[in-house]
């Protein structure tokens, strides 16, 4: 069966034919591709079409598809069994690596998704502080956990409203939503409600409204204000952890949070999440402390083996400077191609994560400015790229990625294909 037929088949058994909404290509139109396999910088659909992959599974594949170190480590683990429900050496090894890479993390707990990491970190923050309110930022996504799947209320610092049916307003009302990069709004909210706030959670570099870097002072303000009022600062580094640096955005910007959530890269492509922080806070988690959190497949040996091989390979390669340079050159060239064709756009990049916002030339510094982009033009761009063998995220408001195997030759081929795609928009 071809892509279309398989998608029809999928729709008989899976809501919308997918296991995660964005995969249905609703934001860009057209019928989604069904992926048969990946190799290095490429993925192949069931029809055998090859795409240069800038989606990279939404972030985990910083080493590209099927890196030999990861694959052999997973094979070794599989030959010993898939799951034991008791502690195995791999999870101890990976915990050691995470603690070694993040100075702010004395102890870490593995879970099975970024959502689960965020849910657990917020419960821990509420249990540790005895407070119930949390703060998040418009345009930031922290997984599909009720307390963070909320939208901004009417005013700036008003209580949130449910982001989807199924979330009781009583739950949404325990979350404040502020504009990203708005330090004044942060100071004002803390002045009014600081003593009731358990935690502030932030993507230190936003990836889910498209890439939006933190303004000078923003992260510092969050650190100072939360410190001042006894709230915990949670850096959601599910995307940025081991992406921007081995120690994530907190290393990159030199700001230490109280808790960190991780995912994606630390599982090397296998289902994973993690949360960690200072001993003083993490010691409150069961069975050491009383705040409960658990999971059948947490610390799964095959997942841990994939993550361990990924982290160890990143430590060997230390690819961050080279990735930063190569991505800078690549994005400059894509921008030149768009300019040549007279397509209005702006782009943001931090290290090897970046987003082109089409149809707008206003710098994108928060969710409101991101919304100024032309999503139907983006849809045309996406589908023209796909037809020319280039895969980017099927939504304007996501991050594109490079991997260590996106070498000069592949990027030059990508640029030729992008140029052709732009001409065909």
Residues near ligand KE4, by CB under 6 A? 20, 22, 58, 113-115, 118, 141-143, 203, 207-208, 236, 238-239, 263, 273, 398
Shortest Å, Cβ 26 to ligand KE4:
12
Q: Indicate the residue among 115 and 300 with the shorter CB distance to ligand KE4.
A: 115
Q: Indicate the residue among 55 and 309 with the shorter CB distance to ligand KE4.
A: 55
Shortest Å, Cβ 420 to ligand KE4:
28
Backbone angles phi, psi at 261, to 5 degrees: -105, 145
Please give the structure tokens belonging to residue 324. 């930063």
Q: Indicate the residue among 209 and 410 with the shorter CB distance to ligand KE4.
A: 209
Active-site amino acid positions: 141, 236, 264
Shortest Å, Cβ 78 to ligand KE4:
22
DSSP 270-334: BS-EEEEE-HHHHTTBTTTSSB----TTTT-HHHHHHHHHHHHHHHHH--HHHHHHHHHHHHHHH
Please give the structure tokens belonging to residue 309. 């091989």
Shortest Å, Cβ 202 to ligand KE4:
10
CA–CA separation, 310 vs 53, rounded Å?
19
Cα 116 to chain centroid distance, Å, stands at 13
Q: Indicate the residue among 176 and 401 with the shorter CB distance to ligand KE4.
A: 401
Cα-Cα-Cα-Cα dihedral of 14, 18, 20, 23, to 10°?
-170
Shortest Å, Cβ 147 to ligand KE4:
13
Helix and strand numbers, DSSP H then E, in the chain:
14, 16
Contact indicator for 178, 135 with CB cutoff of 8 Å: yes
Q: How far apart are the first and last CA of the chain?
A: 29
Q: Indicate the residue among 41 and 239 with the shorter CB distance to ligand KE4.
A: 239
Query: In 3D, which of 399, 372, 401 has the Cα closest to residue 211?
Result: 399
- Alpha helices, DSSP H only, in 25-108? 68-78, 89-101
């Amino acid at each position: 069966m071809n892509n279309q037929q398989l998608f029809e088949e999928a729709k008989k058994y899976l809501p919308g034919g997918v296991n995660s909404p964005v995969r249905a290509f609703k934001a860009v139109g057209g019928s989604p591709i069904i992926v048969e396999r990946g190799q290095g910088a490429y993925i192949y659909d069931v029809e055998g079409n090859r795409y240069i992959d800038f989606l990279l599974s939404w972030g985990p594949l910083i080493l590209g598809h099927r890196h030999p170190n990861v694959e052999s480590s997973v094979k070794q683990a599989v030959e010993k069994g898939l799951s034991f429900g008791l502690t195995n050496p791999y999870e101890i090894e990976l915990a050691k690596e995470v603690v070694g890479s993040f100075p702010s993390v004395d102890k870490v707990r593995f879970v099975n998704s970024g959502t689960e990491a965020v849910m657990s970190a917020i419960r821990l923050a509420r249990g540790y502080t005895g407070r119930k309110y949390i703060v998040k930022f418009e345009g930031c996504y922290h997984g599909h956990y009720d307390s963070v799947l909320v939208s901004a209320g009417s005013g700036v610092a008003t209580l949130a409203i449910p982001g989807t049916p199924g979330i009781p307003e009583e739950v949404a009302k325990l979350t404040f939503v502020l504009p990203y990069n708005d330090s004044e709004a942060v100071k004002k909210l803390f002045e009014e409600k600081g003593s009731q706030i358990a935690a502030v959670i932030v993507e230190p570099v936003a990836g889910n409204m498209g890439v939006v870097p933190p303004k000078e002072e923003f992260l510092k303000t969050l650190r100072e204000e939360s410190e001042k009022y006894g709230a915990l600062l949670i850096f959601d580094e599910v995307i940025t952890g081991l992406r921007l640096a081995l120690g994530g955005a907190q290393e990159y910007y030199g700001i230490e949070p109280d808790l960190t959530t991780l995912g994606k890269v630390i599982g090397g492509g296998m289902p994973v999440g993690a949360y960690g922080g200072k001993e003083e806070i993490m010691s409150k988690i069961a069975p050491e402390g009383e705040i409960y959190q658990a999971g059948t497949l947490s610390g799964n040996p095959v997942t841990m083996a994939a993550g361990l091989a990924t982290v160890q390979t990143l430590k060997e390669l230390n690819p961050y400077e080279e990735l930063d340079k190569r991505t800078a050159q690549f994005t400059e060239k894509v921008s030149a191609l768009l300019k040549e064709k007279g397509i209005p756009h702006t782009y943001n990049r931090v290290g090897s994560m970046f987003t082109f916002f089409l149809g707008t030339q206003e710098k994108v510094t928060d969710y409101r400015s991101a919304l100024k982009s032309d999503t139907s033009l983006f849809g045309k761009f996406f589908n023209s790229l796909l037809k020319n063998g280039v895969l980017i995220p099927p939504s304007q408001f996501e991050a594109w990625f490079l991997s260590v195997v996106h070498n000069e030759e592949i990027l030059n081929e990508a640029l030729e294909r992008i140029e052709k795609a732009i001409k065909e928009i």
